[in-house]
A and B are shown apart, each in its own frame.
Chain A
Amino acid sequence: MTRLPRILPWTALMTLAVLLPAAAAAPPASVDGSPIDPDAELVVALPDDTTNLDPRIGMGSIRSTYIRQVFESLVDVDRDGKPAPGLARSWKPVNDLTWEFALRRGVSFHDGEPFNADTVLFNLDRMFRRNLERWGVKDVAAGTAFDKVYPFVTRWEKVDDFTVRVHTSEPAANLWDVIGREPLVPRAWTIKNGVEGLNEKPVGTGPWKLVEWKRKDHMTFERHDGYWGTTGFTRRLRLQVIPEAAARIAALRAGQVHVVDAVPPLDAEVLGRTSGIRVVSAVQKLGCRLYLNGRGKDAYESGGRDGAFGDARVRMALNLAVNREAIIAKIFHGLALANASPVATVAYGYAAQPPYAFDPARARALLAEAGVTAARPLTLQLLLPAKHYGQAFDETVAAVVEMLKGVGVQVTVQTVDFGTLLQTLTKGTLPPNGGFAACRTSNNLDADDFVRDWASTTLVNWTPYPPELLGLYQATRRQVDPSKRLAALAELQQKVREWAPVVSLYQEKKAYAHAARVLQFVPTQELNMDFRGVALRR
């Protein structure tokens, strides 16, 4: 077992950073030399509402933007996408099997309930579904089943009012990320108001207090003046639902909203040339792929046949058949990137991998090598959840299907709604020559969330790791020495690239547009938008 403590590189920096006084400050009179209006309302147009606000139910991209205005995590993210102290001042492993979180002092929830170690213990109970009867709190259908995904977390304890330790049954290098990125809810308030209260009108420690929620229309927040960090520089924040991209952009051009989320690539180019409007973008963790059935016949409703894509040469051939440069230029107008690593480029532990070349001749040769002939052609029944990930995704899949046909793969596309796709994957009824197009993102900062995809049987894992790669993956998880772990992660990424479990399509760059009078708006690489420090010029 590796000897500890070996503190992650940024931990020391963070500890220093939080020694600085953490006092709430009133908005400044000016930003970047421009006078600001601290009493203004910042209006942000989003494509969708959330159905509820309890972080345990899930932290998908739109939900995340709503939830993270109110709730905070132990680990925050700075404007460069790096981990930063949130409700924890610092975190460190104290031995091979224990992590310690030092909590921020003097923090209160919006209703005045103090944040302390008891809050964290209560949240850990909810995350791992323990002691719920004792608290009288209902279990919820959770986005992340912590007890299943992280079974090595055994117990947690309060060292003092502002120190919590989490114990594991094996070394867990990414525990700071696993535990640290989950938004925390108040203990007493939740026990009193229940999950329904969390979903309807929650209180958190975040920079914004929820004051009104008109479902499917808007959510209005008020600046939390008692916030421990940099708060918003406007009095109010309104997240306005405008489902149609064209209507969102029209509202911006009419001056009726200040910031627009999810600008389509083509519009971004045009808006970028419009006076009084700025377009900004950030690389996201969202990676879109073709998943192929490479499961053994015992791992799905196979009818006795192995998945047709169990041979790595076949999957590599399909990767070499895709012209990603053309897709990124023609469909995304540059607002995407090719990434041959299974890990998002903005995740901790990412190691750049040589891109898959567009080489149809080599693709055909590999297919022939794998026994694909004119008499025994390769067929692919592809499920496409149309209109779920956006128009550019649908166009990309259509283009890729033609590229695959170009190397002799006989592809049939079945358009389904997302629910039907999930149902097929849950039941395990993907046909042996089946595949599906989908995207995955992450609420976490560490590479583990990505490379875990092929470690156990899940909805998205149709090409399980062979024993060698599974061993390598498990080693990355247990390796707590940062430099050794980074090296192991790099080796795993290189091997996964060669093993090619999926046909990698693109990684998203998300575009936002805002009025020129919006100051200091920086798009994050996380799922949520962050309005701390954002101001409106007077």
Chain B
Amino acid sequence: MRAYLLRRLLHAVFVVWGVVTVVFFLVRLTGDPAALLVDATATREEVARARHALGLDRPLLVQYGDFLRSAPRGDFGLSIRERRPAMRMVLEHFWPATAQLALAAILLAVVVPVPLGVVAATHRNGWLDHLSRLGSLFVQSMPSFWLGLMLILLFAVALGGLLPAYGSGTLRHLILPALTLAAAPLAQNVRLIRAGMLEVLQDDYVRTARAKGLSERGVVYRHALRNAAVPFLTVSGLSLGFMLSGTIVIETVFSWPGLGRLIVQAVPGRDFPVIQAAVFLFGVLFVAVNLVVDVLHGLLDPRARVL
């Protein structure tokens, strides 16, 4: 298990390095932030001066070398737009706003589908199953920004301000954005659990368990669900990436002051340090969660450890 863990850890470091390297060079292909810092009367010399002040006139490999030296210390330089440390800005927006939102959404997307998927599978072709499948399809088909606006209109306007239309800070503020962010992965997970359960409920060991006189509840939740959960676990890890990228849209719709909105503004503003710091953080989180999932997967299914 230790060798497996070490291998996955090395793999994770390599992935994070690869992601930040690709982003480092990609953002520089998008253009020159110096033009955004000067006024409309600027001459080429002034633009060049602004570029020099930002250190962007140095050879690309020199810039990359500096980046590799400072990034592991969390030093991504100063934001081009705000002239504040980029990683500080990213962390300010990530914690607590984006972290709260993503955790709440993950909780919804992981916990709620379990009973729904199980009920749908155990009542196959019944009205509960049909309702669950139709509902999942419907929710998965809706663009999240549209769903968010509809929820605002329903809960903040039509129901007389039952929930706030914007902002953050309280549990009431969290409900609508978390629900919107969780909607698509939640629906997907319901279908995944249902399919997994349908498969394992046909297996011999389930039949054996029933023949031994175990209660149906015990058979379903103690034996079948454990095996059906393996693919669900893997997909849940991957869906974290979806959640993090989804915050970009959801935070805009709900005026949630998180990392997503910071990125939305950093990209057109060519704020390289902020983009790099944000991608680094997203990369580390994504890789860390998937590392945990891999380890859990290895614990649940020893065959995975040799892969």
- Chain A contacts to B: CB under 8 angstroms: 45, 51-52, 58, 141-145, 148-149, 196, 199, 214-218, 240-244, 246-247, 250-251, 253-257, 417-420, 422-423, 425-428, 456-460
Are the CB atoms of B165 and A217 closer together than 8 Å?
A: no
Are the CB atoms of B42 and A426 closer together than 8 Å?
A: yes
Are the CB atoms of B164 and A145 closer together than 8 Å?
A: no
Interface of B is mostly: loop
Which residues of chain B (221-263) have a CB below 8 Å from chain A?
252-255, 257-258, 261-262
Checking B167, B265, B268, B270 against A240 with a beta-carbon cut-off of 8 angstroms, the contacting residue is: B167
Are the CB atoms of A144 and B164 closer together than 8 Å?
A: no
Checking A199, A218, A247, A253 against B149 with a beta-carbon cut-off of 8 angstroms, the contacting residue is: A247
- CB contacts (< 8 Å) of A419 on chain B: these are 30-31, 33, 35-36, 268-270
Are the CB atoms of A51 and B257 closer together than 8 Å?
A: no
Are the CB atoms of A247 and B253 closer together than 8 Å?
A: yes
Are the CB atoms of B166 and A242 closer together than 8 Å?
A: yes
Are the CB atoms of A256 and B268 closer together than 8 Å?
A: no
Question: How many angstroms between the C-alpha atoms of A215 and B91 in the bound complex?
Answer: 13
Question: How many angstroms between the C-alpha atoms of A243 and B83 in the bound complex?
Answer: 23
B41 contacts A by Cβ under 8 Å: yes
Question: How many angstroms between the C-alpha atoms of A334 and B258 in the bound complex?
Answer: 37
Checking A149, A199, A247, A422 against B166 with a beta-carbon cut-off of 8 angstroms, the contacting residue is: A247
B38 contacts A by Cβ under 8 Å: yes
Question: How many angstroms between the C-alpha atoms of A240 and B30 in the bound complex?
Answer: 31
Once A and B bind, how many residue pairs between them come within 8 Å at the CB atom? 121
- CB contacts (< 8 Å) of B68 on chain A: these are none
- Given contacts A214-B257, A216-B261, A217-B167, whether A251 and B156 have CB atoms under 8 Å apart is yes
- Given contacts A52-B82, A216-B93, A426-B35, whether A417 and B44 have CB atoms under 8 Å apart is no
Are the CB atoms of A460 and B44 closer together than 8 Å?
A: no
- CB contacts (< 8 Å) of B36 on chain A: these are 418-419, 422
Closest residue of chain B to A141, judged by CB?
B37
With a 10 A CB-CB cut-off, give which of A144, A254, A458 has the most chain B CB atoms. Answer: A254
Question: How many angstroms between the C-alpha atoms of A427 and B43 in the bound complex?
Answer: 9
- CB contacts (< 8 Å) of A141 on chain B: these are 37-38, 50
12 A-B residue pairs with CB within 8 Å: A143-B39, A216-B261, A216-B265, A242-B166, A244-B252, A244-B253, A246-B149, A247-B166, A256-B164, A457-B43, A459-B42, A460-B40
Q: Place the interface of chain B in its size category.
A: 35 or more
Are the CB atoms of B44 and A428 closer together than 8 Å?
A: yes
CB-based closest 10 A-B pairs: A217-B257, A251-B165, A254-B156, A422-B35, A426-B35, A216-B257, A423-B35, A242-B255, A459-B40, A141-B37
- CB contacts (< 8 Å) of B35 on chain A: these are 419, 422-423, 425-427
B209 contacts A by Cβ under 8 Å: no
* Minimum CB–CB distance for B192 against chain A, Å: 31
Are the CB atoms of B152 and A458 closer together than 8 Å?
A: no
Question: How many angstroms between the C-alpha atoms of A148 and B41 in the bound complex?
Answer: 8
Mark interface residues in B165-180 (1 if CB within 8 Å of A CB, else 0).
1111000000000000
B142 contacts A by Cβ under 8 Å: no
Are the CB atoms of B92 and A142 closer together than 8 Å?
A: no
Are the CB atoms of A255 and B161 closer together than 8 Å?
A: yes
Closest residue of chain B to A453, judged by CB?
B40
B157 contacts A by Cβ under 8 Å: yes
Checking B39, B43, B82, B168 against A144 with a beta-carbon cut-off of 8 angstroms, the contacting residue is: B39
Are the CB atoms of B161 and A241 closer together than 8 Å?
A: no
With a 10 A CB-CB cut-off, give which of B41, B81, B153 has the most chain A CB atoms. Answer: B41
* Minimum CB–CB distance for B79 against chain A, Å: 8
Closest residue of chain A to B255, judged by CB?
A242
